[in-house]
Amino acid sequence: MKYSNLVGKTRLDAPSDADSVNARLLTQAGFVEKLAAGIYNYLPMGKKVLDKVCDIIRDEMNKVDGQELFMPILHPVSIWETTGRIKTMDDVLYKTKGAGDKDFVLGPSHEETVTPLLRDNVNSYKDLPLSVYQLATKFRDEPRAKSGVLRGREFGMKDMYSFHLTEEDLDEYYERVSEAYFNVFKRCGLKSHIIEASGGAFSDKFSHEFSVETPAGEDTIIVCEKCNTAQNLEIAEGKIVGPDEKEEEERALEMVEAKRGFSVEENAKLHSVPESKILKSVVYEVEEVGLLGVAIRGDLNVSEVKLENYLKKQLRPASPELLKKHGLVQGFISPVNMPEESKIPYIADHSITNIKNFVTGANQPEMDYVNVNLGRDFQIDDFTDLVEVKSGFECNKCSSPLTEMKAIEVGNIFKLGSRYTDAFKFKLTGKDGTLKTVYMGCYGIGTTRLVGTVVEASHDENGIIWPKSVAPYMVHLLTIGNDDNVNKHADEIYNSLKEQGIEILFDDRDESPGVKLKDADLIGIPLRLVVSKRTLSENSVEWKVRAESDSKNIRISDLDTEIQDFLSN
């Protein structure tokens, strides 16, 4: 492709509303262009990258016996009523009316189409297990479309659905797909982690997310490099590190004046103690229970998801107004000598059991207790793991330090069981003549999100660095100096590589070397070749790999073999 003909040129500046690295670089380099919030055009180079990502996914899904099909995006509303998701997914569903006032939904996912489709096309238990997938567009009215192509309102997804006669068979297939997912992300040049889905109100153990480490991620994950495992921050487990003061002598309880702010930091400073010596109280408003105090070491935070899972109730931090109404003194609440009329139940995180002579509020304005000791000065009936794990905690399995990282969820796999097959009455007569439940799994990868994730994970201050596997072109050829001989040689190289089937972009513009070199870095094609008078004087071209800092000269006669070598590695 000659650059002068290419649709989708580089821009001098990123659009002012580009809110992320991928939005900035993909737009500036001419891969995508925003139509509206969360809605993107893919220009020819963007489409090439997206196709390569899709081809990798297609290849890996075919290897796990997925059969590719293609389902409609426009869904009659009735199928969404059958599963009840017309209500539960109401916030993200795009709804529209057709002729005759018929109601439709623009598909955000395809369980509602694939289940009746397979019900009507599978006749015998002998056909199972089977798995079908598509590479298609999804619509979700995301409240906040952000981070460029990472969270769109219209976006690409590979969605695969598998059907099984037993749960064991689903379990086995789920593992195979898991492996295929790792292969997909690895082939896209990404390091991915599998993570048990976070808990919260919809907690179950039947889904996993695949996450890629990058600073742009919306999620925080806790990684053990040694075990090569990752957990979702909200439910991560790990060994708390910190002082063990069990042997410290218990000093006499004292109430002291404390003119301070509410933060642990100010508290520790005022009393000249480490933050771990502060007995922190966090008060929650719990559904059907009312107020509940949680005691935790001052330098640690409560994981609300762990707390919700433990109580099996929804909750939120109690508002200052509610605390006041209950007679609790904000910033000075503690389980020590609570006045009878404002007493609340307390639970505690294990972290408080190792500390002696705590400092904590005295349930009065600007008064603290010092030398507070568990058992002697206050009682806690219920201890559990409520701590939000952070960098420095130790892995429960291998004791090496855990690291907190930002990550992007690129894929998600679920064991759906019979939720959808029951809803659509998809059962099969088994060998023994009785009707059998059909078990289902579903497996998604955000294809457009994956394109954005590659950019987030692989770029520098000058632009994108495409891995060879998904690069729009393999070679970026440019000339320096508008010289007949230089142009002639560049043309010859271009034509010869093109004839060999090598994907090559030839910057044939009469632009300054500075502009061309800068654009090459921005676009990020793996190999840059420069032809100039100087290189020709040595019968060579300059060879520079985008991901490396050094360049070298290669003899034109060696170019073909060098390139073949480069491409096959």
Residues making contact with ligand ATP (CB under 6 A): 109, 140, 142, 151-152, 155, 157, 409-412, 444-446, 448-449
Nearer to ligand ATP, 111 or 368 (CB): 111
Q: Given 3-state DSSP classes, what are the helix, strand and coil percentages for the chain, each rounded to the nearest 5? A: 35, 30, 35
Q: Compute the C-alpha angle 176/181/184, nearest 5°.
A: 130
Q: From 144, 26, 56, select the one nearest 455 (Cα to Cα).
A: 26
Residue 412 CB, shortest distance to ligand ATP, in Å, is 3
Closer residue to ligand ATP (CB): 30 or 217:
217
Minimum CB–partner distance for residue 231 and ligand ATP (Å)? 16
Placement of tokens 């410290």 in the chain: 248
Residue 187 Cβ vs ligand ATP, minimum distance, rounded to whole Å: 16
- Give residue number: closest CB to ligand ATP: 446
Return the number of other C-beta atoms located less than 10 Å from residue 392's C-beta.
13
Q: Between residues 139 and 358, which has the closer beta carbon with respect to ligand ATP?
A: 139
| Cβ closest to ligand ATP, residue 66 vs residue 152 | 152
Q: CA angle, 267 as apex, 266 and 268 as ends, to 5°?
A: 95
Name which of 71, 53, 36, 52 is nearest 154 in CA terms.
36
Least Å from the CB of residue 446 to ligand ATP? 3
Query: Measured in whole angstroms, how far is the alpha carbon of residue 209 from the centre of its chain?
Result: 8
Report the C-alpha dihedral over residues 271, 272, 278, 282, rounded to 10 degrees. Answer: 60
For 80, phi and psi rounded to 5 degrees?
A: -80, -25
Of 188 and 475, nearer to ligand ATP (C-beta) is 188
CB of 265 to ligand ATP, least distance (A): 33
Tell me the CB-side half-sphere exposure of residue 95, using CA atoms within 13 A.
Answer: 15
Asked if 248 contacts 358 with a C-beta cutoff of 8 angstroms, the reply is: no
Judged by beta carbon, residue 38 or residue 298, the one nearer ligand ATP is: 38
Tell me whether the omega of the peptide bond preceding residue 76 falls within 30 degrees of 0, making it cis. Answer: no
Q: Which is nearer to ligand ATP, 442 or 497 (CB)?
A: 442
| Contacts with 222 (C-beta within 8 Å, 6 or more apart), sequence order | 230, 231, 232, 233, 236, 238, 389, 390, 393, 402, 403, 404, 405
- What is the helix (H) or strand (E) element at residue 85, kind and residue range? helix 85-88
> Judged by CB, which is closer to ligand ATP: 60, or 508?
60
CA–CA distance, 314 with 183 (Å, rounded to integer): 38
- As measured in angstroms, the least distance from the Cβ of 450 to ligand ATP is 7
Instruction: Give the nearer residue to ligand ATP in terms of CB position, either 409 or 521.
Output: 409
Nearest to 362 by CA among 430, 440, 451, 260: 260
Minimum separation from the CB atom of position 472 to ligand ATP (A): 20
Chain centroid to CA 230: 12
Shortest Å, Cβ 202 to ligand ATP: 11
Query: Judged by CB, which is closer to ligand ATP: 449, or 546?
Result: 449
In the bound state with ligand ATP, the residue whose beta carbon lies nearer, of 217 and 298, is 217
Closest approach of ligand ATP to the CB of residue 49, in Å: 15
DSSP secondary structure, 90-117, as one string? TTT-EEEE-GGG-EEEE-S--HHHHHHH
Q: How far is the CB of 112 from ligand ATP (least distance, A)?
A: 13
We find the least distance from the C-beta atom of residue 216 to ligand ATP, in angstroms, to be 13
Q: How far apart are CA 157 and CA 135, in angstroms?
A: 6
